[in-house]
Amino acid sequence: MKKFHKALSAQEIIAITGGSWLGANDVTLDNVCEAIEANPSSVVFCEQERLISQIAESPAGLIITNSQFSERLGARPQLIVDTPYFSFMRLVSYWLSLEQKMQNWSIHPTAIVDPSARFEGEVSIGAYCVIGANVSLGKGVIISESCSVQANTSIGAESVLHPRVCIYPDSVIGKKCILHSGVVIGADGFGYLLLDGIQQKIPQVGNVVIRDDVEIGANSTIDRATLGSTEIGKGTKIDNLVQIGHNCVVGEHSILCAQVGLAGSTIVGDYVYLAGQVGAAGHISIGSKAMVGAQSGIAASIPEGGKYFGTPAIDANSMKRIIVAQKYLPELLRDYQKRLKEDSHD
């Protein structure tokens, strides 16, 4: 259950979601939850057949649903809309935005901020943060406790760093980005040259550039470029424990699921979908709108809109046919070996 500081009335809710109200409208609502946790101040939603009776029996104060389910939900206040889940989530987002307006803009006295750091308006910096020389923070940036933002890094307006994010020097973070706990931006790319029996470190003197509206999941890592920049395009969303190698360039509005790994210099287009645990070789490109199935190993470039699967990844339909055929492989082999034997007896 998520309880909000400010309760909302029926009128306030309709103003956000639209739709038509059924039943008593003198309710006051202050939380959202699943039916099983509901109390008379809860808003729940109903658009799945299998949950109707559970919701009908719950004490929830308001059910957001559609005309199809309404009748079976009993005499409770209902808000009838076309897309209940979507309207519910719009309401939750509104409620969360009210909470954010209550943000206390302050720099904790234990935060160590280099005197050369610049803030373009109100910012919040949590306890035990270390903010380096020439760092620039846009208006409304929120940095939670125990973050490191190293020298010459800039963070755009309204971006949020959760606790224990580490940003190495010279990084550029856009506006309205969300970096979850444990994210590491700008660690050295992984480059060595074997010389005289020693893995000589290739200096990594590029940086990382992350555009606006990017979200990066907990403990993910994005390495700095050897030269130039590792880039993440506007609106791209990255899940937990993802690795982006040096000099990768990821396009806009793409989705990289958990534990994906991109080797160095991989180019990823816009609206690409990489499912969980996908790996991509370096120095290849993955075309815009490509979709790649979970655990695939991308060994060569993928054209725009390609649907790929497998290791090495090939056209997903071809791979599915191979997977189906594989089940008959032991039988095929027995047949072949039988024929061989017969031939040798002829």
Question: Is residue 7 helix, strand or coil?
Answer: strand
**Location of structure tokens 């993955």:** 286
Residues from 271 through 290 that contact a copy of itself (CB under 8 A): 271, 276-277, 279, 281
Residue 282 carries which DSSP code?
A: S
- Least distance to a copy of itself from the beta carbon of 285, Å? 15
Q: Is 316 in the site for a copy of itself (CB under 8 A)?
A: no
Question: 12 in helix, strand or coil?
Answer: helix
Task: Count interface residues toward a copy of itself (CB under 8 A).
Answer: 99
Whose CA is closest to 64, among 102, 32, 105? 32
Of 75-134, which residues contact a copy of itself (CB under 8 A)? 86, 89, 92-93, 96, 110, 112, 126-128, 130
Q: In the annotation, is 5 catalytic?
A: no
Contact 173, 167 (CB under 8 A): yes
Contact track, a copy of itself, 42-81, x by CB under 8 A: ----------------------------------------
Distance of CA 7 to the CA centre of its chain: 29
- Residue type for position 226: T
* Contact yes or no for 29/41 (Cβ under 8 A): yes
Q: Which of 297, 301, 307, 316 binds a copy of itself (CB under 8 A)?
A: 297
What is the spatial distance between Cα 156 and Cα 159, in angstroms, rounded to a whole number?
6
Nearer to a copy of itself, 25 or 188 (CB): 188
Nearest distance in Å: CB 301, a copy of itself: 15
Asked if 206 interacts with a copy of itself (CB under 8 A), we say yes
Q: Minimum CB separation from a copy of itself for residue 330, in Å?
A: 4
Kindly state whether residue 151 participates in binding a copy of itself, applying the rule CB under 8 A: no
Site string for a copy of itself, 241-270 (x = CB under 8 A): x-x-x-------x-x-xxx-x-x-------
Assess contact for 90 and 79: CB atoms under 8 A: no
Per-residue tokens: 205:
């003197």
Q: If binding is defined by CB under 8 A, does position 307 make contact with a copy of itself? A: no
What is the closest distance, in whole angstroms, from the C-beta atom of residue 52 to a copy of itself in the complex? 17
Q: Which of 108, 162, 180, 246 is catalytic?
A: 246
| Residue numbers 157-176 binding a copy of itself by CB under 8 A | 162-164, 166, 168, 170
Q: Is 92 or 157 the residue whose CB approaches a copy of itself more closely?
A: 92
Active site positions, annotated = 246
